[in-house]
Amino acid sequence: MPEISPDFTTAICARIGLDRYITAESALGGVYVAWSADGVSAVRQSGDEEAFEAWYAERFERRCVPAIEDDSIATAARAKLRGEDADVPIDLHECSEFEQRVLRKAAEIKGGGARPYSWVAREIGSPGATRAVGNALGRNPVPLLIPCHRVVRSDYSAGGYVFGGEAKRALLEREGVNFGAIGEVVRRGFRYVGCDDGYFCLPSCGDIASRLDEPGFLGLHSLEEAHEHGLRPCRTCRPMAA
């Protein structure tokens, strides 16, 4: 007899316009994870089912009900939220094209690093749109799965977050962002940090986080200064975009 796919129910729910959600464990405790057949559509703090379902119906204009079983999307989302490597499909249909560009860019930032809002704006080809980038990240329907918490203010303070600024900072610290050292670099008026491997980075680049505590790093005030030292821009944090 035929094997029944784990996504059997999901295919039916897609056709009747019904999304489902689970409660999953994450670095920030319990979260609701809602999904459609196209992928995870929402991640929100758990606690009040009724409020979550009302918020979901309002924002997505679809009903979302508690799931009984995990399908392949829910399984992948749980793994990713536990910190495992998992490919989680994300459903961003409800986001504008600009918001999607912002969120895809944020999704590229690896754990241990952070980037300013202005960096995202430049990277997506809208250098003047720093505020709009902030708004788009604030509307991120799938925080944690798309790590919008890795985008911070230009002074590298954490800034706002759907789970609260404190949670954002704690999350970044847990991922290895060295706020103390980054603050020190900024306080001394440096915008970039030169490394002995011939590259220069943003102070929040994940590649140099551990080296910032060592004495004698090369602080740089400007791109010109970096060029004078013959340094090339880091390929991970692409400091030219900041």
Interatomic CA distance for residues 151 and 161, integer angstroms = 10
Report the residue from 20, 80, 105, 168 that binds another protein according to the rule CB under 8 A: 20
Report the residue from 12, 166, 176, 229 that binds another protein according to the rule CB under 8 A: 12
Smallest separation, CB 52 to another protein (Å): 14
**Which two structure tokens, joined as six digits, stand for 162?**
């759907």
Report the residue from 5, 72, 96, 210 that binds another protein according to the rule CB under 8 A: 5
Q: How many helices (H) and strands (E) does the chain have?
A: 9, 10
Catalytic residue list contains 64: no
- Which residue, 46 or 118, has its beta carbon nearer to another protein? 46
Q: Phi first, then psi: what are they for 53, rounded to 5°? A: -65, -35
Which residues share a beta bridge with 194?
200, 218
**Which two structure tokens, joined as six digits, stand for 189?**
């008026």
- Which residue, 63 or 110, has its beta carbon nearer to another protein? 63
Q: Out of 95, 148, 205, 234, which one is annotated catalytic?
A: 148
Interatomic CA distance for residues 186 and 227, integer angstroms = 20
> Footprint of another protein on residues 55-94 (CB under 8 A)?
63, 65-69
Smallest separation, CB 73 to another protein (Å): 14
Residues 6+ apart with CB under 8 A from 237: 113, 115, 201, 202, 204, 205, 206, 207
> Which residues here bind another protein, judged by CB under 8 A?
1-2, 4-5, 8-9, 11-13, 15-16, 18, 20, 63, 65-69
Known catalytic residues are 148
